[in-house]
Structures are given as structure tokens and as C-alpha cells.
Chains A and B, each alone.
Chain A
């Protein structure tokens, strides 16, 4: 039987989240997350969420969560974004590093890393890409050299989201040179962005705000306790993270539903102009389709199915939906559409990056074609 209703217990959870958010969501929006002042405000908000166990609802209680299952996480996200709550500064750590630690980390690592991630006390940046390794990530050349009690890492990372203001970072490093395949000999490491030998050079994104940074690493010491999994197994470990990243938990449907409802309100406030009717309707339907697609995927996941490459369809869909939605909003604003201080401008700049990060959409389409449709591999 197909059933779209939530259980009474999940509805109770929804009501509890809704009431908490109504009482706590700041009435005036914070400054941009990509400024020092805004970053600090968002970090403080994570602390407020964490104090009542709302920052990482799906995690086990021992690390600050509520042991909420996937469905409750989806419910929480619907309520969170509908309430107009702030963006999540800890997203990189929570959606990328934490799942890896749950699957491949040690008990000691989880106990040490997760609680401070949950409170926002430590904010994590990702350090995947390099100047010459983007979509072809396995060609990365930053290296990790064995030393007494750990590793010395050197090289250059780039497009490191949040690194301008974050505390620590995680990424892949080449620990064994000259392996037969580039995916071998990589090690997954966590490191301190303020350690000796680290230089962080913030990069202004399209609107000039330092949403990401370059990292220059010069014999930075990483103790053995900050290696995740076996040295040399980093690719396999990271791909399980990338699977999560592209999968269900990177962008929740609640976020796009809230944006779509705001877009309908904007359209109404502008007198429901005919020229935008189709795009507003399509954004709303797209958000609903993404929600239902996610509920279907979650239902399969809860019955023990691995989700795998279908997450590539997911990434293409939400990133294009988000961009189309914001483009429509800016067009509806007419002359104000070019302003940098409307309720839509920063969201638009952020949406522009969606088709690029977390695996460019061209790579995702290759994955859909080869792994879901079974088309032959070929030159890219």
C-alpha cells in the first residue's frame, strides 16, 4: 500500500520542532554566512540549536542528536526551512565528514570530533579539489609523507568551501606515489586549518564574498589519530562520503519547498504576472516532485536498498531546480533583480554554484547514462 501520511509519533515530532523553531528562529536575518560577522552569528545559532538537540537530529543521542530516523530528518528539514531559519554553517562537516566517521572512523574519533561539530564550536571545511584535479579528482597530487607518529602533508587545495572562517578541514592526500591506478595510494585525513604550515587564502566568489579559499600546505603535521580508515584506502572511503553528498542528505526537499512557497508569494505580491506563470508553477511542481522522489528513495532505503547512482539524478534535478527558481524570482523583481541586497540575491549567487560543486552535473549525467542506463563507457 502506498501511504504518504506520517505516523502520529512523527507528527508529534513535527509539532515539537515547529514550536521550538517558532520560539527561537531569529526575527531579523543574520548577515551573510560568508562574512566574518555572519559566520560568527551562524555559529552561535548552531550552539542554540544544539542546546536543545536540534542541530543534528539524525545523529545518535551520545553525540548530541535525537536518534531521529531518515523520515524524521525529512520532517525536521521541512519545518526548519518553512520557519525561515538561517543557513547551516556546519553543513560540510555534518553531511560529508560525519557520515564517513560513522562508517569508517574509530570510536575515539567519533567521540572527539562529533560533539564539537554538533555545537558549531568546530566548523569543518572540505579540501577535495586541487588546481589540476576537479572533476578528475583522483588525479590529485597533494601528498602525505610518513613521519614519526603521523604524516606531513604538502600541496595545494582549492575551492575549499567555508575555509575562510572554518577551524578544521578534511580531504584526500597521496600517501603512496607511483601506484598502478590514480585511485590507489590515497589517504583520508583531518587537519587543523591553524596548524603551522597552513596558509589560507580566501577566494571571493562571484559576489566578492569569501565563500571558499585556497589552502597552501607545507609539511603540516597530522597525527595518526586524524587518519580516517586505513592509509591508502582514502578513495573508497571518500566515495562513500561522496555518495552521501550526492544522495539524500545534502539538500533536503524542505529547503526547496520553502523557497518555492516564497516564490509563489513573490509572484502574488507582484500581481500574478502572466509572463512568469509557467516558471512559478514549474518551480512549485519541481519542489514537490523532489520531495516525493526523496520520500520514495527514503522508503526504499528503509527497506534495506542501497541508493547508489540514482543520487546523480537527484543532484542534477535539485541544482537545476534551485537555479531556475531563483532566476524566476530575480526576473519577478524587475529592476531590483540586479540588487545585491534583496531576499533573493544571495540565494541566487549560491544557486549558481549548484550545478558545479559536489560533482559537476556533466559528471552526474555520465553516471546516470553509464550506471543506470547501462550505456557503454567512452571518451569524455
Chain B
């Protein structure tokens, strides 16, 4: 029992944090939102160089072997810096493509960051492919590898089937995909891909929430009204104390889910990390006041992301259902 990241894992996240801090990610997000992917692709390459996408890929395909804990720790940093793009989808794609012919063909490009993948899955739980309509794929315009999961298997999509849809988070560019195309495998590991994707979203949301908290703590410490910093008021303090508590109790759920990779644990982590991030977003908006309500102020990049992640990769009730179905099967032991 040692439920803590070790020195090497901490050094890895610290170096990722340093690299992203120097990268002016808000400017990258704004480029990405306009459909200008150049700065985002450059950042993507550096994230790949840091080894992030290799954390879901076996060594024989250029990866570092599956390391869900390191992947989760990396995604906390990606969320903290509001990195745009189909990050989660690329991880899920790496899992979907694990079978030899596809793996050799596609995984090296994902690991190297030369390919960005997106995935369109049917609406409904567990990528189970029984519903007909496909969900929109994130950043279908930027992705170089577009996958569609249907009841019949995993397809290489022939391309976008319509224009990018405007989203409340302008950096998330949802695109309809055409499912028709080459059949890659009839039986992709749907549930494992969902688990890895959901774990990545959970970690990303935690990072988004931590950034919102940090920025708001800094703001209420320097913004003065009635002659004092507004952060000295108890109503402000308590709101931030609650935001911090929710985030700090979501953090071990994320780490625990990365350790067990049980779908119910991952669903619980996803639910609570997204709830905590959204709670932090609401507190951040309220405590910044009107300036926080503007698109121009960088806080908006995290505010809108927190909202989007709540329902991406499993809405709250879907996650709760997984948790309770698992619990009703009998206690998992302490």
C-alpha cells in the first residue's frame, strides 16, 4: 500500500507542467477555436515527444506500454493548461486499434503525434454499437485519423459528413462523420476503449478544475472592494474552500480508477471529477464577477471546458448507473 505518485511520476508531471506553462496555451486554444490548427499541431507534437500518447500503446508499436496512472497524471496537466484537440479520443483510438494489422499501421503515428485521432461512437452507453445514429466526433476537421464504431465493428471513416457544429466551448469542434469506409475489425475492444477514454476525461476535468481554483484564488487575493481584498470575505472563502474540497476528494478517485481500471471505478472518478470541475467553474465565474463572463478573458477557456466535459464520454446518470449496477452485484471487498 502506497497510494501516492512516486518521485519519477511527480517529475514527469512537473516537466509536462513546465513545458505547457511556457507554451502560451490560451493563444493556442483561441487559434484552434477559429479552425487554425497550426499552433495546436505544434503543441501536439511536443506533448507526443513528452511520451503522453505512448502511455496507452505497447512497446512494439513505439509506445511505452500501457501506463494508466501516468496517463491520468499527464491528463491532469493537459486539463490544467486547457490544451485543445482530440486528446481523449486519441487515447481511446489507440486502444481500439490494438489488434495487429491496425496496430502496426496506425499506432506509431499516434504515438509520434503525427496523427490525431477522433472517434464517432453511437449514442448510448458503452460504445456498444446497438444504436443507429453516430455521435459527433470531436475535432473531426483537425483529426487525421477518423474512426467510427458501429454495431458491425470499427471503421475508418471516409471523412466529415457535414460542417463543424458550433459548441459552447468554441475549442471543441464537433463534426459528424461518415461511417462508411474500410472495416478495420469486427470486434474492437469497445469497453476497454471507453474505460481508457473516460479515465482520461476524468483526469482532464480534474486539471481544469484545479486551474479554475488557482486562477480564482489569485484573483480574489488582488481584487479589492470596500477597501480590502474580496478574498478576505467569509462568503468568498467558503465557496473556494468547498471547491477545493470537492477537487481534492475527486483526485484520489481518479488515481484509484487509474490503478484498478475497473469500469465502475472509472465511472465514479469521471462523475466526481467533472462535478468538482464544474463546481469550481461556477465558483470561479461568480467570484470573478462580470469580467469572468466575457469571452475575451482567458478564464472562459476553462469555464466552457468544464461544462463540456460533464457530458462528454458518459453523462452523470450513465456513470451513476455503472457504479450502482456494480455495487448490486455484491460488495467488491474493502
Interface of A toward B, CB cutoff 8 Å: 1-7, 10, 71, 75, 78-79, 82, 254, 257, 261, 264, 267-268, 272, 277-278, 280-282, 284-286, 288-293, 295-296, 298-300, 303, 310, 313, 316-317, 362, 364-366, 368-370, 372-380
Contact = CB atoms under 8 A, between A and B. Distances in A.
B291 interface: no
B249 interface: yes
B228 interface: yes
Given A78-B334, A296-B4, A278 B317 contact: yes
B255 A2 contact: yes
Contacts of A365: 237-238, 241-242
Interface residues of chain B: helix, strand, loop or mixed (majority)? helix
A7 B234 contact: no
B296 interface: no
A124 to B, nearest CB: 29
A261 B3 contact: no
Interface residues of B, number: 51
A300 B4 CA distance: 7
Contacts of A299: 1-4
Contacts of A267: 324
Given A285-B253, A370-B237, A375-B220, 11 more contacts: A264-B328, A267-B324, A277-B324, A281-B321, A286-B249, A365-B241, A373-B217, A373-B240, A373-B244, A375-B229, A375-B240
Nearest to B68: A2
Nearest to A313: B245
A288 B268 CA distance: 9
Nearest to A305: B4
B191 to A, nearest CB: 20
B248 A293 contact: yes
Contacts of A7: 1
A1 B245 CA distance: 25
Interface string B229-272: 10111101110111011001111110110111000010010011
Nearest to A81: B334
B4 A292 contact: no
Contacts of A378: 228, 232-234, 237
Contacts of A310: 248
B327 interface: yes
A375 B231 contact: yes
Contacts of A277: 317, 320-321, 324
